Amino acid sequence: MWQLVSGAYLGWALGANDASNVFGTAVASRMLKFWTAALLCCLFVFLGSVLGGAEGMHTYGSMSKTTLNTAFLTGLVAALTVTIMTWMRLPVSTSQAVVGALIAVGLFFGKLQIGVLGKVVACWVGTPIGALVAAVILYLLLGKVMNLLGLNLFQYDFVMRWGLVMAGSYGAYALGANNVANVTGAFVGEGMLTARQACVIGGLSICLGVVTFSRGVMLTVGSGLVKLDAFSAFIVILAEAVTVHMYAVVGVPVSTSQAVVGGVLGIGLVKGVRTVNRRVLANILVAWVSTPVIAFVFTYGACFLGQRLGWL
Amino acid sequence: MSLFFRREKEVRRLIGEYFEVADRAIEEFELAVGCYLGSGPCEQFREIDARIHAAESEADDLLRRIEKMLYSRSLLPESRGDILGLLEHFDKMPNLAETISFMLDTQQVQVGDAYRAAVAELVEVNVEAYRLVRKTVDKLFSSPDEVGEAVLPVDEKESESDRLEGKLIREVFASDLDGFSKIMLRELIQLIGDISDSAENVAGRLEIISLKKRI
């Protein structure tokens, strides 16, 4: 089953990039050592993948019927798309790349399920909006609780640090549960992998990305969030985790990066300040459209070529 | 993780120790000025001066250790910044105590009979301002909601010190003292008054820190 290599590569890239959304703040603020954060992240990503990842696998499995070779193509093109978008400095979503590739495979072979596609696209739009709403509610609610507790400086610090560790761990769980389908979802069904096997392999490849390549991204993304005060950063991570987890339950893989942007926007809304500039928002809109389109075009082209060469 | 929280406990212990040493420096300062005004730069004054110097050095050492610990994975960046800023501003007060005592020892400033009571009163008001701000620091670490109220008496003491300082300097410059003595005395008065100015700055910082923790 050498075709799994493309899925593992995608999982590695996902782990390397998305761990920053859950533990970036703790590592960039030097509150946790990278290795402590990486190990916590791996533990909870794996748990999330195995315990909550099956639903997303079924969604991808029902969106488009694949074979081992088309699953390989899906993973490879999605990974290349992520690379191109990252190079263009756009907030790329692995989920959107995978879905773009799956649509191409489905259309090429005439096996696309439009109903499932509609649900997935609606969830894309709902991700930043959901995180925004979650951030506003959590900020107001937990803010009241914090004020009532009247914590002193050290107690506040203690609560915030534990809060960031726990929200990060929950975020890692949600990341694993939600995004593992991106990694190995295309290989489920048709006698390739069972959902459980796909969750284990996908979870492990995400963990590999976390431990080998996430340190730099954690420091970059984390230092951006550190500019928020500790409570706001905690709310952003918690809102992201809640949102992404909800979509994991529904079975739709979504973007953690876009959930983070939604959360930061929510904080801005509560505080009456602009936390995200227009350029970042415009980039998200561009990425929403261009990521699946690029993945679709490349996959469709690859399917065409593969069929001509008798490989598919 | 437990190691990480042990560091935080150690930072708290060091901060507590720092404030105790700073308190000692100010208490000794009050004694030193009283002694100087009573009997001039005598042996007892020099002993107290040495103790102020030792306390100030110890406070500086503690401050360096706290800084080092804070930058090696203790507390959140915003708490680190708040505590370091607070300690840096607070440390000006024991530094002033040492500077004034050193000035009295080395330059043997002549405080005439006409000004001794007023200088003693100025010292008392400034030491009181220190004690009030010190209480406010304790409030920050115990019941931060009370910080806003606790800073008000510090502002009042600073204003009182300003009034005394202005009155005293005017009197000095209206006197028959020679120009050099006038300038020396003015410098002493201003340095003593700087203690309550620093106390007011620290009080302002304390208020901001407590407000920042309100969500």
Test B8 with A146 for CB contact under 8 angstroms: no
Looking at the complex, report in whole angstroms how far the Cα of residue A141 sits from the nearest Cα belonging to chain B.
10
Q: Complex ipTM, two decimals?
A: 0.79
Q: Scan for tokens 């991106």, then name that residue.
A: A182
Test B144 with A151 for CB contact under 8 angstroms: yes
Distances (CA, A) of A301 to A68, A73, B25, B161: 18, 11, 79, 83
Domain span including residue A268: 4-308
Looking at the complex, report in whole angstroms how far the Cα of residue B13 sits from the nearest Cα belonging to chain A.
12
Query: Count of A–B CB contacts within 8 Å?
Result: 62
Decide if pLDDT at B4 tops 70.
Answer: no
- The residue among B169, B32, B42, B37 whose CA lies nearest residue B111 is B37
Q: Which of A147, A153, A160 sits opposite B209 (nearest CB)?
A: A153
Q: Helix, strand or coil for residue B75?
A: coil
Q: What is the DSSP letter of A189?
A: S
pLDDT digits (tens, 9 = 90+) for B136-188: 999 999 999 999 999 999 999 999 999 999 999 999 999 999 999 999 999 99
Which is more confident, A27 or B132? Answer: B132
A293 is written with which tokens? 């389109």
Residues of B in contact with A138 (CB under 8 A): none
Decide if pLDDT at B84 tops 90.
Answer: yes
Domain span including residue B75: 2-212
- Angle between the N-to-C axes of helices A94-108 and A153-184, in degrees from 0 to 180, rounded to the nearest 10: 20
CA distance A163 to A144: 16
Q: Which of A30, A36, A152 sits opposite B141 (nearest CB)?
A: A152
Beta bridge partners of A188: A193
- In chain B, % of residues over pLDDT 70: 97
Q: Number of helices (H) and strands (E) in chain A: give both, helices first.
A: 13, 0
Distances (CA, A) of A157 to A13, B9, B128: 33, 12, 31
Which is more confident, B20 or A16? Answer: B20
- Angle between the N-to-C axes of helices A34-52 and A195-213, in degrees from 0 to 180, rounded to the nearest 10: 170
Q: Which of A143, A152, A158 sits opposite B215 (nearest CB)?
A: A143
Residues 6+ apart with CB under 8 A from A89: A283
Q: Which residue of B has its CA nearest to A156?
A: B213
User: Which A residues 178-197 touch B at CB under 8 Å?
Assistant: none
CA distance A119 to B28: 75
A102 is written with which tokens? 């799956």
- The type of residue at A251 is G
- The residue among A220, A149, A162, A176 whose CA lies nearest residue A41 is A176
CA distance B38 to A245: 75
Test B140 with A156 for CB contact under 8 angstroms: no
Test B8 with A157 for CB contact under 8 angstroms: yes
CATH number at residue B62: 1.20.58.220
- The type of residue at A267 is I
Total count of domains within chain B:
1
pLDDT of A87 reads 75
Positions of E strands within B41-187: none
Test A150 with B1 for CB contact under 8 angstroms: no
A220: phi > 0 → left, psi -120 to 50 → alpha, else beta; which?
Answer: alpha
Q: Which of A30, A226, A231 sits opposite B73 (nearest CB)?
A: A30
Looking at the complex, report in whole angstroms how far the Cα of residue A96 sits from the nearest Cα belonging to chain B.
35
Q: Scan for tokens 């800084």, then name that residue.
A: B67
CA distance B93 to B107: 21
CA distance B188 to A60: 80
- The residue among B57, B90, B51, B55 whose CA lies nearest residue B199 is B90
Looking at the complex, report in whole angstroms how far the Cα of residue A13 sits from the nearest Cα belonging to chain B.
28
pLDDT of A189 reads 67
- The type of residue at A90 is L
Looking at the complex, report in whole angstroms how far the Cα of residue B18 sits from the nearest Cα belonging to chain A.
16
pLDDT of B108 reads 93
* Helices within A150-229 (DSSP H only): 153-184, 195-213, 215-226
Q: Scan for tokens 């794996």, then name that residue.
A: A46
Q: Which of A150, A153, A161 sits opposite B145 (nearest CB)?
A: A150
Total count of domains within chain A:
1
pLDDT of B1 reads 46
Running along chain A, 312 residues long, what does each successive block of 10 average in pLDDT? 89 90 85 91 97 91 81 90 78 86 91 84 91 97 93 89 94 97 85 88 96 86 75 94 96 90 91 77 80 93 92 80
Kindly state the average pLDDT of the residues B15-20.
Answer: 97
Q: Which of A31, A146, A157 sits opposite B215 (nearest CB)?
A: A146
A118 is written with which tokens? 């509609």
Q: A234 — contact with chain B (CB < 8 Å)?
A: no
B60 is written with which tokens? 């500086």
Distance of CA B153 to the CA centre of its chain: 16
Test A152 with B73 for CB contact under 8 angstroms: no
Cβ-contact B126, B193 below 8 angstroms: yes
pLDDT digits (tens, 9 = 90+) for B27-71: 999 999 999 999 988 999 999 999 999 999 999 999 999 999 888
